[in-house]
Amino acid sequence: MGVDVAARVGAGRPPGHRRIARLSRGDRVAVALMVGIPFVVVGGLVWFPTIASILLSFTNWDGIGGVSSIHWIGTQNYRQIATIYPPFWPALEHNLYWLGALAVVGTPFGILLAYLIDKRIRGTRIYQSIFFLPVVLAPAIIGLIAELILSPTQGLINNLFEDPRGPGHITDWLGNPSLNLWAVLVFACWRHAGYIMILYLAGLKALDPSLREAAAIDGAGEWHAFRTVVFPAMRPINIVVAVVTVIESLRAFDIVYVINNGENGLELLSVLITDNIIGEASRIGYGSAIAVVLLVVSIVPITLFVWNTFGKKNEAAA
Amino acid sequence: MQEERPLFDPDALGSQTMTRRAALAAGVGGLTALGLGAARARGAVPTALVQQFAGTVTLGSNYSDPVPKKAVANMLAKFTKQSGTSVKVNTVDHNTFQEQINSYLQGRPDDVFTWFAGYRMQFFAQKGLAGEIDDVWQTLKPQFSTALQNASKGLDGHFYFVPIYNYPWAVFYRKSVFKQHGYKVPKTWDQFLALAKQMKSDGLIPIAFTDKDGWPAMGTFDQINMRTNGYDFHINLMHGKEGWDTPQVKQVFAHWRELLPYYSQAPLGLTWQEGALQLLNKQAGMFLLGSFVGQQFTKPADHADLDFFAFPEINPKYGQDAVEAPIDGFMMARKPKNRDGAVALLKFIGSPTAENTYLATDPNDVGTNKHASTAHYSVLQRKAAQYIAGAKQISQYMDRDTRPDFASTVMIPSLQKFLNDPTGVNGLVKSIQKQKKAIFGT
């Protein structure tokens, strides 16, 4: 409404002022809002916390008291994290395992499911719903389900199957630190595969069917056609899938936190950040330093992604 | 004890008075909630009564489990009935409350909030996040033992805390199991190990042990340390004044290692509730835990069969002197909106009436007020009360006796590491010591 009035007022001005008149007060307010709101949102929710975390990572602030109680301690937090904080290296390692499991098992399995369902086999919708179900559930619920299935004395697996080492032995799926991560990753992949399946399925549906027909006429087998025709044609979706896989593995948190607060074999960087910052511990500086490490780790795939999408586009334009 | 009852016990009051008061309280409350209606109605209510019902105290509570939640509600109902001050309770999940305590206390905390005694309380008092309540204690002092008074003081010597109950950590067992196999309660470490060995050959899990949640293992460390090195060393260690890479601490782990063969299988995958089930189902012979283990013994017959003994003596110099008996209680915010109401509520919480009411609903704990009635105590409660009263020193629990950041980010993973790799103690204690230095700064 305001814009209409302003436009009319602008229209009545002498021609020499037309350029300014086009940006009437209403327009300027609209522009200011359109630039200002995203700026405030991005600045307040992305840049401010990021920069604050980086700054705080060089302090030993305990979160109590105002800015005056913050003391600079240089790189001490980073040195301590790398040298005397036992959960740090395992956590980093576990994040990489998580990425590996999703990339090698979860994502390919999701793609396979999407490809099979796209064939319109009987009961497609049912399969689709079944595989998509875990994506609808909150990750914390996946953690609870994992606990119910894996618990050593009450869990489904140990009650259904006899231990291979004979009676009297119990496999500790949740408490054995060299086993529990892999047990949990099965559930993480289960959820992830459904997610990827839906993404990929959407892409496959949009794919021009003549491509595949042409490949079939040329005598390409199923696998050959997928590898040389379908997969390259799906490039935009492939990039999204790759990014989603990396993001999922870096922000993994809920499942392990529900199972045992992310301790004893289930350490992840996200958990260490939470433990130090949110809990009663309140080592804000220390936790921020771990968060910065996670940020640096995340920047690698983000840079690759940005370079891949925008870099290639510029190339094509040139 | 006797003189309290006719005055405060609601059962002793005429039921008519009760109904009328309750109706008035409900009526006024309801109208206030309606807002506009309250102003009009106030004229109809006698001024004296309005005054009596004026004022609300807010209480932030972590008593989120059904039984304790009900116990608190019953206790507060009695306070409202007595004082006319209503209490608005904000119950938060037990663990969440603890995790958010920092931001909670720095934000807009309730007037009164639930917390724990020990360094965990003194830490927040020292940081200026809790209100000093010496005036509450003027009346409470004669009703509490010196040990409990000291446990309620901050490091500056002022009072910050009002205890409601405490509960002992001990070795729990089923009387019927001991009777069936002819076991005797062990007094010394050797007897304890011999009993465990016997139980194992009888096909029992000698000692239920569960540590998926990370904190239960702390209890075993505390017990062995206090029996091996004494209470003073233990508390100094908790306060960061002793080293972790010392022969004393290594000795603790060496003793602990002797117990490991007698533990439940897969302890790091089990919760304490699952351990309690092993004891309840007579699969396990013993379980070192707090008396809250009784919460899992829901059938009265099972609960009556539950008994405990003090952790056995290791070094005769320290005997079984120290008892681990964490105290739960209440504190006041640094700037309560209704200080008079908060003080009145805290005074009431310290009274025998409040404790009696609370314990009537949650009978796994023991009252802290000297005059609290023991008439309704179960046999187990009475024993627990005597056990705590007979202690020469009382510890709170590792996560209450030491800095919260040290307990959660260092000790939980370290003790789990020990349980996974019991032979790597030398490296482990060195790692703990380095982290302790980083956190305590000494």
Q: How far apart are CA B265 and CA B286, in angstroms?
A: 14
Q: How far apart are CA B387 and CA B381, in angstroms?
A: 10
Please report, as a single letter, which amino acid is at residue A97.
Y
Among B409, B420, B438, the residue with its CB nearest the CB of A275 is B409
Average pLDDT of B107-128?
92
Strand-pair partners of B207: B263, B286
Residues of B in contact with A275 (CB under 8 A): 408-409
pTM for the model:
0.81
Please report, as a single letter, which amino acid is at residue B409.
T
Q: How far apart are CA A48 and CA A35, in angstroms?
A: 17
- In this complex, is the C-beta atom of B270 within 8 Å of any C-beta atom belonging to chain A? yes
The shortest C-alpha distance from A150 to chain B (Å) reads 9
Among B102, B269, B435, the residue with its CB nearest the CB of A282 is B102
Average pLDDT of A81-92?
93
CA proximity to B404, closest of B62, B61, B124, B92:
B124
The answer for residues whose C-beta is within 8 angstroms of residue A176's C-beta and 6 or more apart is A265, B266, B268, B269
Residues of A in contact with B414 (CB under 8 A): 86
- Residue of chain B with shortest Cα separation from A258: B213
Looking only at the bridges linking them, the beta strands covering B205-208 and B306-309 are unpaired
By mean pLDDT, which of A309-313, B111-115, B128-132, B327-331 is the weakest?
A309-313
* DSSP-assigned letter for residue B264: P
The shortest C-alpha distance from A54 to chain B (Å) reads 20
Average pLDDT of B27-35?
37
For residue B259, count other CB atoms closer than 10 A to its CB.
Answer: 18
Residues of A in contact with B267 (CB under 8 A): 175
Highest mean pLDDT among A203-217, B49-63, B73-87: B73-87
The shortest C-alpha distance from B418 to chain A (Å) reads 11
Q: What are phi and psi of B243, to 5 degrees?
A: -85, 150
Q: How far apart are CA B348 and CA B1, in angstroms?
A: 15
Q: Give me B281's structure tokens.
A: 């189902």
Q: B59: helix, coil or strand? A: strand
Strand-pair partners of B331: B113, B161
Q: How far apart are CA B436 and CA B418, in angstroms?
A: 17
Q: What confidence tens digit (pLDDT) does each residue in B49-67 have?
A: 433 445 899 999 999 888 8
Please report, as a single letter, which amino acid is at residue A24.
S
Sequence-ordered strand ranges (E) for B282-362 = 284-290, 306-309, 322-324, 327-333
Average pLDDT of B364-372?
88
Residue to mutate among A81, A280, A282, with most B CBs inside 10 A, is A280
Among B214, B265, B435, the residue with its CB nearest the CB of A263 is B214
Q: Is B55 exposed, middle or buried (0-12, 13-18, 19+ CB in 10 A)?
A: middle
The answer for residues whose C-beta is within 8 angstroms of residue A221's C-beta and 6 or more apart is none
> B99–A176: do the CB atoms touch at under 8 Å?
no
Q: Cβ distance B143 to B370 under 8 Å?
A: yes
> A86–B100: do the CB atoms touch at under 8 Å?
no
The shortest C-alpha distance from B92 to chain A (Å) reads 15
Q: For residue B42, is pLDDT > 70?
A: no
The shortest C-alpha distance from A189 to chain B (Å) reads 21
Q: How many CA atoms lie less than 13 Å away from A17 in the CB half-sphere?
A: 9
- The 3-class secondary structure across chain A, one letter per residue, is CHHHHHHHHHHCCCHHHHHHHHCCHHHHHHHHHHHHHHHHHHHHHHHHHHHHHHHHCCECCCCCCCHHHCCECCCHHHHHHHHCCCCHHHHHHHHHHHHHHHHHHHHHHHHHHHHHHHCCCCCHHHHHHHHHHHHHCCHHHHHHHHHHHHCCCCCHHHHHCCCCCCCCCCCCCCCCCCCHHHHHHHHHHHHHHHHHHHHHHHHHHHCCHHHHHHHHHCCCCHHHHHHHHHHHHCHHHHHHHHHHHHHHHHCCCHHHHHHHCCCCCCCCHHHHHHHHHCCCCCCHHHHHHHHHHHHHHHHHHHHHHHHHHHHHHHHHHC
> A261–B214: do the CB atoms touch at under 8 Å?
yes
> CA of A110: how far to CAs of A167, A200, A201, A284, B138, in Å?
37, 8, 9, 38, 69
Please indicate whether residue A304 or residue B88 has the higher confidence score (pLDDT).
B88
Residue to mutate among A77, A150, A153, with most B CBs inside 10 A, is A153
> A153–B270: do the CB atoms touch at under 8 Å?
yes
Please indicate whether residue A68 or residue B228 has the higher confidence score (pLDDT).
B228
In the prediction, which pLDDT does A221 show?
85
Confidence of residue B243 (pLDDT cuts 50, 70, 90): very high
In the prediction, which pLDDT does A312 show?
63
By mean pLDDT, which of B172-176, B360-364, B367-371 is the weakest?
B360-364
Residues of B in contact with A85 (CB under 8 A): 435
Please enumerate residues of A whose Cβ is less than 8 A from a Cβ of B. 62-65, 80, 83-87, 150-154, 169-177, 180, 260-261, 263-264, 267, 275-276, 278-283
Confidence of residue A275 (pLDDT cuts 50, 70, 90): confident
Q: What confidence tens digit (pLDDT) does each residue in B2-24 have?
A: 333 333 333 333 333 333 333 33
Q: Which residue bears the tokens 């999408």?
A: A309
Q: How far apart are CA B285 and CA B197, in angstroms?
A: 11
By mean pLDDT, which of A54-68, A173-187, A251-265, B287-301 is the weakest?
A54-68
- Of chain A, the percentage scoring pLDDT greater than 70 comes to 91
- In this complex, is the C-beta atom of B257 within 8 Å of any C-beta atom belonging to chain A? no
Confidence of residue B428 (pLDDT cuts 50, 70, 90): very high
Handedness of CA A223, A193, A236, A211 (dihedral sign): positive
Q: Give me A29's structure tokens.
A: 């307010």
Q: For residue A248, is pLDDT > 70?
A: yes
CA proximity to B294, closest of B284, B285, B286, B306:
B306
How many contacts does A have with B, using Cβ atoms within 8 A? 106
CA proximity to B250, closest of B269, B230, B225, B227:
B225
Q: For residue B34, is pLDDT > 60?
A: no
Among A64, A85, A173, the residue with its CB nearest the CB of B435 is A85
By mean pLDDT, which of A83-87, B35-39, B54-58 is the weakest?
B35-39
